[in-house]
Amino acid sequence: MNATPSGIVGARHRTSRRRALHPWAWWIWALSLAGIAGMTTNPVVLATIVAVLGYVVAARRLDTPWARAFRLYLVLAGVVIAIRVVMHVLVGLKTGEILVLPLPEVELPDWAAGITVLGPVMLEGLVGAALAGARLAVILVAVGAANSLANPRRLVRSLPSALGEVGTALVIAVSVAPQLVESVFRVRHARALRGEPARGPRAFGRTALPVLQDTLDRSLRLAASMDARGYGRRARTPAAERRLTAALTLTGLCGACVGTYVVLDGTLPAEVGIPLLCAGLAAAAGGLALAGRRRTVTTYRRDPWARPEWVTVACGAVALAATAVAAHLDPSSLSVPLYPLAAPGVPVLVLAGLGVAALPG
């Protein structure tokens, strides 16, 4: 007679009852952290953002194929930083006083004046290039965290009816990385069962073609299943309604663009730009609502949006607001002094906001 510890039974019971959050809640939370990363080059803040993202992904991801893609995004982030540093060494602007690499400068023709290839590399410029690459890398990791936590199928299902085609294409494009990761695991497992080496330079060439073939087969199966469920089909609508939908959508987008330009430009009074922006958004919303009536896809069950979703979104919003306040009070705390080079500061308010952002884990 086998006995199972009560703690394991309780853990399994809690795991089975844990509900997966709405995909848009994870995306809003992750984009808030990506917005924080776009506002700073402080390595302390960037490292804390990666730690928060990694902790929440490790704690909240489910046993799904797309949840395994977070490692790939971490590798891509490292590649982004390396490429940024290499490009600085090759053709970057060499500024600073502390010499790191005394490389020779390559002479270029007159038509390429202003471009310097190689040359002496200074520490200040190298650090600045690495931090700029790290900022972009952290934004990429935030997108990877959202992609690992959010179910792409539920994401398509929760989109408005008028954005079905665009959303389907976007979700398929975003889910390419998880599909590749799953294909790599499948091919490696098959090679291990046959007794073939699954790692090394030789295994890479023999793995690449099966991975691409498996990814293509899965994409074709996805397209066939979506076609069987009615994606892309439209109901018959009168020509007058189609013309009204196109006119409202086009007019609304143009009005929103002009209103946004007027509000941001500042040369015209806000009493002109804000009503124009609101009218454009209202017209575009009306056009999207009419366009949504043409889709015939049936939704049997809507994803719930309850207290956990609001808490997750609020945690990301609090962190983003704390960073915005810190940027207004002390902008220098979000960057690293390069000339002269000095140690970065520790923005306590931003770190406290990131601590709140880690609560969904």
Whether the predicted pLDDT of 309 surpasses 60: yes
- When pLDDT is cut at 50, 70 and 90, the band that residue 68 belongs to is confident
44 and 156 in a single domain? The answer is yes
In a domain, 214, yes or no: no
Counting residues of the chain whose pLDDT is more than 70, the rounded percentage is 73
CA angle 114, 115, 121 (to 5 degrees): 115
254 and 317 in a single domain? The answer is no
Ranges 55-69, 139-153, 171-185: which has the least confidence: 171-185
pLDDT higher at 55 or 198: 55
pLDDT digits (tens, 9 = 90+) for 223-271: 677 667 666 556 666 777 777 777 877 888 788 788 787 777 767 676 7
pLDDT of res. 8 = 42
In a domain, 251, yes or no: yes
CB atoms within 10 A of CB 177: 20
284 and 332 in a single domain? The answer is no
Of 113-127, 289-303, 345-359, where does the model show the most confidence? Answer: 345-359
CB 138 within 8 A of CB 44: no
Number of domains in the chain: 2
**Which residues fall within 8 angstroms of residue 67, CB to CB, at 6 or more apart?**
57, 61, 148, 149, 178
CB 85 within 8 A of CB 60: no
DSSP readout, 197-258? --SSHHHHHHHHHHHHHHHHHHHHHHHHHHHHTTTT-B----HHHHHHHHHHHHHHHHHHHH
Residues in the chain: 361
CB 153 within 8 A of CB 121: no
134 and 174 in a single domain? The answer is yes
In a domain, 142, yes or no: yes
CB 74 within 8 A of CB 144: yes
146 and 285 in a single domain? The answer is no
In a domain, 343, yes or no: yes
pLDDT higher at 274 or 308: 308
In a domain, 30, yes or no: yes
Whether the predicted pLDDT of 48 surpasses 70: yes
- When pLDDT is cut at 50, 70 and 90, the band that residue 140 belongs to is very high
249 and 311 in a single domain? The answer is no
Mean pLDDT for the chain?
Answer: 78
The helix/strand/coil state of 111 is helix
140 and 274 in a single domain? The answer is no
Taking the CA atoms of the chain, what radius of gyration do you get in angstroms?
25
Q: What is the DSSP letter of 345?
A: P
Range of the domain at 147: 21-183+307-357
288 and 312 in a single domain? The answer is no
287 and 312 in a single domain? The answer is no
pLDDT digits (tens, 9 = 90+) for 71-81: 888 989 999 99
One-letter amino acid of 22? H
Is cis: bond before 340, omega within 30 of 0? yes
CB atoms within 10 A of CB 317: 16
In a domain, 257, yes or no: yes
Whether the predicted pLDDT of 286 surpasses 50: yes
66 and 170 in a single domain? The answer is yes
Q: pTM value? A: 0.72
314 and 270 in a single domain? The answer is no
CB atoms within 10 A of CB 83: 13
In a domain, 346, yes or no: yes
The helix/strand/coil state of 190 is helix
CA angle 349, 351, 352 (to 5 degrees): 65
31 and 176 in a single domain? The answer is yes
The rounded distance, in Å, linking the Cα atoms of 73 and 57 is: 12
In a domain, 10, yes or no: no
